[in-house]
């Protein structure tokens, strides 16, 4: 092979272009990985916030349901007392 007529500048340019292409591809993949990791972290934080809000809403609903149960129990007991008084009154009226 006759290297005296070999165009080294052309070969170097081709190697530089190939090197630049590989560098761009590696950089693009690295950026994609960083973006993907950032998206995952963001989704984890969003999921945490959503679950925290759901927990607060559940606790609030539980408190409301407990109060509702107490009010219903008190009303039922009051109704029972009123019914008992009415029954005693009707028995007294019959005597």
Per-residue model confidence as pLDDT tens digits over 40-80: 999 999 999 999 999 999 999 999 999 999 999 999 999 99
CA distance 14 to 25: 17
Residue 16, pLDDT > 60, answer yes
Residue with tokens 């999921």: 47
Separation in Å, CA 56 to CA 7, 60, 62: 73, 6, 10
Q: What is the mean pLDDT of residues 18-42?
A: 88
Q: What is the 3-state secondary structure (H, E, C) of 15-77?
A: HHHHHHHHHHHHHHHHHHHHHHHHHHHHHHHHHHHHHHHHHHHHHHHHHHHHHHHHHHHHHHH
> Distance between CA atoms of 15 and 20, rounded to whole angstroms?
8
Q: For 1-5, 35-39, 55-59, 83-87, which range has the lowest pLDDT when averaged over its residues?
A: 1-5
pLDDT at 31 over 70: yes
Instruction: Note the pLDDT of residue 11.
Output: 76
Taking CA atoms, 78 is separated from 15, 68, 70, 84, 86, in Å, by 93, 15, 12, 10, 12
What is the rounded average pLDDT for all residues in the chain? 89
- Global pTM reads 0.52
């Amino acid at each position: 092979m006759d290297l005296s007529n070999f165009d080294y500048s052309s070969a170097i340019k081709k190697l530089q272009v190939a090197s630049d292409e590989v560098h761009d591809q590696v950089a693009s993949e690295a950026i994609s990985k960083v973006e993907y990791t950032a998206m995952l972290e963001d989704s984890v934080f969003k999921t945490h916030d959503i679950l925290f809000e759901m927990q607060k809403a559940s606790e609030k609903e539980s408190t409301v349901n407990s109060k509702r149960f107490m009010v219903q129990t008190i009303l039922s007991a009051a109704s029972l007392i009123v019914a008992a008084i009415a029954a005693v009154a009707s028995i007294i009226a019959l005597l």
